[in-house]
Amino acid sequence: MPFPLQALDYGSRCRLRELVTPAEAYDFQLAAPHFDGLNPIQKVHDRLLVYTRVYLNDNVQLCAKAFPAKNLNTDELYIIKRELIIAKFAANHSAQLITDRFITSLECLTFRNCDLTAKFLQDLSIKTKNDVQRLTIQQCTLNDDVTLDFVCLLFKKLKSLCVSDNYFLKRTWIDTFVLHQFTNMAMIKIDGASIDLLKVEETQLINFMKAQSETFSIYITLQDNCDSKEVQQILSNLFGNRFWHLEKKDIFIGRKFAIGWQSSEERHQQYYILREDELNHERATEENAKSKPFSN
């Protein structure tokens, strides 16, 4: 239930200012910029940092480091405009530990070695001022309520998704992206994936890839010690007449699918490109050459 600030006497308002977090003080001052008793004015730092890393120490105190190197004073409020890296948060830790000290207006969001819950992600997403473009989840434990469907609902404008699978993705992962109408993505990278992630329907995969950027790539590294014959058979079935099998990865045209795995004998890499993309590129190159005037 809302509480009117006018109901507080001047001394109580001053005491309130002493007790609130930097983010709460900032919100109060935005809502009532000329209201007596909410001084001092909360300072906000918006220096462009390449990334900011936050983590919890052994005493469950929030620590923060930034690059370029900068001291992050606990009494100040900072705006993060580039990348926020969150490390070593457990399932019982609140996103408010971060949002009390930082205004998140992010391009990139990275989680490392965290136990993630849907509530933590949702609370952080609500406080984020714009659409996250790149999401990375590395070596994290995910609660059962953190699904790809949930992530797609929270981060609707993703251009890049990088995950250590840990059973986060199911065989229906392509269907989920299609269902949420994800388009114009640049990359999906999955490490430690189950072989089941390759058991997708070819037409659905092609339709999804064609809806992405012209240089879109999917990179999948399977879990170790895969049955190489089984992987090769799945790849043969999946990448039929509508893909080219590439001998090398350094091809910069078209939408690509790369797959790597470690068998008991050796390391394997396979690369595929949509034939339609390469044919379109060749036609465009020929037409461009024909359109150029001859010169001595």
Contacts of 142 (CB under 8 A, 6+ apart): 116, 166, 168
Mean pLDDT across 12-19? 70
Residue 231 has pLDDT above 80, yes or no: yes
* Rounded Cα–Cα distance for residues 132 and 84 (Å): 10
Task: Taking the CA atoms of 206, 211, 213 and 217 in sequence, report the sign of the dihedral they define.
Answer: negative
Computed over every residue of the chain, the mean pLDDT equals 84
Residue 90 has pLDDT above 60, yes or no: yes
Closest residue by Cα to residue 13 from 43, 32, 36, 41: 36
Domain spans, the chain: 1-42, 45-152, 159-289
CB 136 within 8 A of CB 163: yes
| Range of 18-32, 57-71, 146-160 with top mean pLDDT | 146-160
pLDDT of residue 5: 66
Question: pLDDT higher for 163 or 68?
Answer: 163
Query: Per the confidence metrics, is the pTM higher than 0.85?
Result: no
Mean pLDDT across 41-69? 82
To 10 degrees, what angle do helices 22-31 and 10-19 make?
A: 140
Helix, strand or coil for residue 59?
coil
Model confidence band, residue 221 (pLDDT cutoffs 50, 70, 90) = very high
